[in-house]
Amino acid sequence: MSSRWTAGNRARLLENGEEFFPAVFESIRAAKHEVILETFILLEDKVGRELQAALLQAAHNGAQIDVMVDGFGSSDLTPEFIRTLTAAGVRVRSFDPSSRFIGLRVNLLRRMHRKIVVVDGNRAFIGGINYSADHLADFGPLAKQDYAVELEGPVVAEIRHFGLTAIRDARVDARPDQTTPARSGDVEALLITRDNADHPNDIERHYRAAIRSARKRVLIANAYFFPGYLLLREMRRAARRGVDVRLILQGEPDMPIVKTAAALLYEHLQGAGVKIHEYCQRPLHGKVAVVDDDWSTVGSSNLDPLSLSLNLEANVVLRDRAFAAHLRTRLEHLIAHECQLVEAPARPRWHWWSQLRTAVVFHFLRRFPGWASQLPPHAPTLQSHPLPASASATGIRHER
């Protein structure tokens, strides 16, 4: 998909499941024509069941519904859960599913990690929040801190087209493009995606360009931080020319190796003046950034090898001073109240093992994208869950 900026959009930041789920579910329940939904994780907990109920209501309204879940992230969905949806005419697809080996999920690489919703062609949601109860504060200490954005305006047509293209191989019919939504605000928006064919580094490239052009500040909150060598170099160069570069990373990670890996990079970044804050309230799952006064991004892409070199990802980049200011305010609130500043060492540690470790890490970071491209060719499959005969007929009757 070719990227292009569209003007005239409205954007609303949604923080955590408390803001995201009500907005998405209300929009889906009110759908009259169409719902397109892609997600990495869908669980059969209270959030998953509420999503199911919203989709059933949309189907009852006459909307045509396409749902795509990842075969790794959503591998625990039961046949009963899926049959309830397909019986109502919902088209459910699994991205690259596979059987478990001795009870373990083995299809780890090249996952469909996007989180996208488009409703009636005029409203879209994109971000990092999955459909599971661990995105709600009442889940407890392991509840995730995360972000998404609600969009209206011409960019929704771009997101809708992308969503339909992603499921095209498994669709049983064609759907005409809808009229581009009217202008809804003053936000310029750009959908950027990553895949393993035509757009292998688009998201990283936009990050690097934004940091390279920064003159005042760079503020990045990212859950899984182990970026490529070129992106690290841009952060260091920005800090050295006087830009206030701050990172919010996991201090209480859901997987301990996440903090261990990121910590290998701390001294290298701190030596150039980058400030590192660890979010210690609960696991951080966000993938957002703000650069200077008007550039920001929200999406599914972590800054790690899986997201930047293997997984299918989607972010939206926004140019708008008000949205950037609001996102920056929310991130600075985390820094002030829920983060710890990681102090740079008074003097560099010149132990031989530290130098060896640094050399190995940066060799890996510099070479990993090339190594990833050499992995055995793999054409992921979309598995369609069959519709009952009566539901199939209903789906055709509801064509738009």
- Burial of 275-300, coded b for 16+ CB within 10 Å and e otherwise, reads bbbbbeebbbbbbbbbbbebbbbbbb
CB of 123 within 8 A of CB of 156?
Answer: yes
Q: Which residue has tokens 């869950």?
A: 385
Best CA proximity match to 114, nearest among 49, 187, 37: 37
CB of 72 within 8 A of CB of 94?
Answer: no
DSSP 185: S
Residues marked active site are found at: 113, 115, 120, 285, 287, 292
Residues in the chain: 400
CB of 277 within 8 A of CB of 340?
Answer: yes
Q: Give strand ranges (E) for 184-341.
A: 187-194, 217-222, 244-250, 275-279, 287-291, 295-299, 313-319, 339-341
Residue 172, Cβ neighbours under 10 Å: how many?
10
